[in-house]
Amino acid sequence: MRFAFVFGKEVMAEVPVRRVPRQARSRERLAQVLAVADRLVATEGVEALRMVRLAQEAGISAGSLYQYLPDRDAVLAALAESYLERIEVVLAELVTASARERWEDPVAVLVDGFSEIYRRENGFRALWFGQHGSEAIRHADRAHKRRMADGLRIVLLAQQAVPDRDWLPDACLSAQLMADALMQEAFRIDPEGDPKLLRELKFGLRGYLAELSRRDD
């Protein structure tokens, strides 16, 4: 099952839970649990996330916590999906903006926009850069990458940066995967994003888009 909750003050995200709480108070309690989990992961790392501690700091009993999130993997999966949801909200904003204005450098707009997420989301970096990927997280990430690639396709077509061809979805997925790998490495090196790697990422994506714009098959 999935549960929608306000994560911080910005995004309504849906996360998988064992049982969806029906009462408003219970829903608020679960949202608080996930907010505490995000804080622990962001400030102390994934290793600090223990179910008993999580329940204590969220102000609920361990039994109540286990009703919704049975173990640490379930908490991490819920956090992962909430982080991915927040990234996709940024993508949706870029899709909307791309339809109403022309960008001089679409690659810079996209890379700079997503770099800001990495800079401010300490919990996301701690989870994604560690060795804590369960099958549920990997599944969510694969689906996320395909949604991101589709959003990229919409943006590039709106900016008239590439032709609309049958191969475009695969090309956008390839661009997204390449960008994701290099951006992660840039933020592993430097919490602010290694400027040299981010520069090379922009060069690489611009070159790839230039090749795609000339592709006629």
Give me the domains of the chain, ranges plus CATH numbers. Answer: 2-72 (1.10.10.60), 77-214 (1.10.357.10)
* Per-residue pLDDT tens over the stretch 43-98: 998 888 999 999 999 998 888 888 888 888 888 888 888 888 889 999 999 999 99
* Per-residue pLDDT tens over the stretch 15-26: 454 444 455 566
Could you give the angle at which helices 72-100 and 122-129 cross, rounded to 10 degrees?
A: 120
- Structural contact between residues 164 and 157, judged by C-beta atoms closer than 8 angstroms: yes
Q: Which two tokens stand for residue 113?
A: 């926009």
Q: 3-state DSSP call for residue 7?
A: strand
Q: 3-state DSSP call for residue 18?
A: coil
* Per-residue pLDDT tens over the stretch 93-126: 999 999 999 999 999 999 999 999 889 888 888 8
Q: Give DSSP secondary structure letters for 76-134.
A: HHHHHHHHHHHHHHHHHHHHHHHHH---S-HHHHHHHHHHHHHHH-HHHHHHHHSS---
pTM: 0.80
Give the span between the Cα atoms of 183 and 193, in whole angstroms. Answer: 8
Question: For 215, phi and psi rounded to 5 degrees?
Answer: -70, 130
**Type of residue found at 153:** R
In this prediction, residue 80 carries a pLDDT of 87
